[in-house]
Structure 1
Amino acid sequence: MPAHITKWKTEHANYRKLLDLLETRTELFARGEQPDYELMSDVVYYLTQYPDRFHHPREDVAFGTLLAYDPSARDVVDELAGQHRQIEASGATLAADLAAAAAGTMMSRATIIDDVCRYVAFLRDHMDKEEREIFPRLGAALQKKDWFLVDSAIHLSADPLFGDTVQARFRGIQRQIADQAGCGCADLTEKACCLE
C-alpha cells in the first residue's frame, strides 16, 4: 500500500476520534448538560481548517489522476469530490451555529444537535466510502511519479493537532481525546498524543 494511502487512513482515524469527541459532547448536550461550545467549536474549526484545506484537496488531485488509468472510476470520483464540497459547506454551517450559540444567540438545542449529527454521519460515511471504493484503486493504479504530482499540487501544512507539535488552541481537544481513550497523554503540552 502506498505511503500516501497509509497516511490518509491514519488521518481518517484521527478525524474519527474528533467525530467521536464531538458526538460525545453532543450526547451530553442532548441530555440537558451544559454544552462545551469552545471545545466543540475547536473540533469543528480544526476539521474545517486542516482536512478541508489540505487533506481533501490532495485526495481530489489523486482522484483526478486516477481517471487517466481507470476511466470507469468517474462516477465515484465525481461523487467523492462533490462530497468534499458538501463537507466543507456543512462544516461552515456547523461552525457558524456553534459560534452563534457560544456568543449567546438564542438557538434551539435541536438545531445544534441535528447539525452535529448530520455532519458526523456524513463525514464518517464519506471516509468509509473512500477507504472501501477508491483507496484500493489508487493504490493499484498510481505510480511514484503520480504521487509526486499529488504532493506538488497542494502545499502541505503541518497538522496543528496530530502533528509533532500541538498548537495551543488544540491542546484541550488533545486532552479530551486522550481522556476518552485512557492513553495517559492528557497532560502533554508540547508533543502530540500517542494515539496518532
Structure 2
Amino acid sequence: MIIERLSQEHRNIETLLAVLEHELEIFDRGDHPDYEVIRAIISYFELYPEIYHHPLEELVLAKLELRDPAAAASVGNLRLEHKKGADRLHRVAQAIESVLSDREILRQNVDNIVRDFIESERRHIMIEERDFFPAALKALRPADWSEIASSSTNHEDPLFSEAAEETFGALRQRILQMEHESEVGRR
C-alpha cells in the first residue's frame, strides 16, 4: 500500500539522517568524517525523495485536498515544506563543498547548516506520520488509492534495495556497519 511504502521510505530517510548525524559528530570533534558517505547521502536526497517520494506524497495530498480540504489544510503546506527541504539540502551540499575545497567557512556554520537540515527533515517526517498519513487513510477511497498507484512510478529505492547502485556502495556499507555496531552494543 502507498502509505506503507511512504512510511518505509521515512524509516530509510531516518537511517540516513542518523548516518549524517554520526559523520557530523566526527566533524565536530575536529576529525575527518567520511566525505564520500556524506556526498552519497546528499546525492541520495537529491535523487530519491525529490524524484519519487515527494511527488507520490503530493499525489496523495491532491486527493486529500479534494476529499477533505480541512484535513489537507491542517497538515500545512507540504509542497512548500518539500521545497524548503530541497533548499536546506542545497545549503548542506554547498557547505560540504566549501570544506572540501578549503574555502573559508566556520566549522560552526557547517554544523549549524547540517543540523538544521537533519532536524527539519525529522520534524517534517513526524508531521507527515502524525497528521498527513492518518488523514489520507481516513479520507481517501479505494479508487483514489488505485488512481494514485497508477499515476506514480513504482521505483525501488536505490539505496535500500538489494540492487543498490554503485553510487551508494560506501553509504550502504556505513549503514550496515552502524547497524552491526548497534547490535553488538546491545548484547
Q: TM-score scaled to structure 2, two decimals?
A: 0.89
Counterpart residue identity of residue 96, structure 2: L
Please give the secondary structure, in 1, of the residue aligned with 2:163: coil
Cα shift readout 1:107-141 (whole Å, capped 9, x = no counterpart): 22112111110000000000000000010111122
Give 2:60's aligned amino acid. A
Cα distance in 2 for residues equivalent to 1:121 and 1:179: 23
SS of residue matched to 1:81: helix
Aligned to 2:49: 51
Q: CA-to-partner distance for each residue in 1:50-73, whole Å, 9 max, x for gaps?
A: 112210111011011112211112
2:184 corresponds to which residue?
none
Greater shift after overlay, 43-52 or 12-21?
43-52
Residue type at the aligned position of 2:178: Q
Relative to total residues, which structure has the larger helix share, 1 or 2?
A: 2
Change (3 A) 1:157 1:102: farther
Which residues of structure 1 form unaligned runs of 5+? 184-196
Q: Secondary structure at the match of 1:105?
A: coil
Partner of 2:90: 92
Per the TM alignment, residue 152 of structure 1 is displaced from its structure 2 partner at its CA by 3.5
Write out aligned runs for 1:181-192 (5 A): 181-182=179-180
Amino acid corresponding to residue 168 of structure 1 in structure 2: E
* 2:123 maps to 1:125: yes
Letter of the aligned partner of 2:142 in structure 1?
K
Aligned partner (choices 14, 18, 21) of residue 19 of structure 2: 21
Moved over 4 A (4+): none
Q: Structure 1 pair 108/177, CA: closer, same or farther in 2 (3 Å)?
A: same
User: What pairs up with 1:1-196 in 2 under 5 angstroms?
Assistant: 3-182=1-180
- Inter-CA distance 106–156: structure 2 relative to 1 (3 Å threshold): farther
Partner amino acid for 2:40? D
After TM superposition, the structure 1 stretch with the greater mean CA deviation from structure 2, 126-135 or 93-102, is 93-102
AA of the residue aligned to 2:97: A
Between the aligned partners of 2:110 and 2:40, the Cα distance in structure 1 is 15
Answer whether contact 2:36 2:170 (CA < 8 A) is retained: no
CA distance in 2, matches of 1:89, 1:20: 20
Deviation at 1:156, TM superposition (A): 4.1
Provide the identity percentage. Answer: 28
- Tell me the CA shift for residue 26 of structure 1: 0.2
Give the Å deviation of 1:77: 4.3
- Distance in 1 (alpha carbons) for counterparts of 2:12 and 2:105: 30
The worse-fitting range, judged by mean Cα deviation, of 113-122 and 31-40 is 31-40
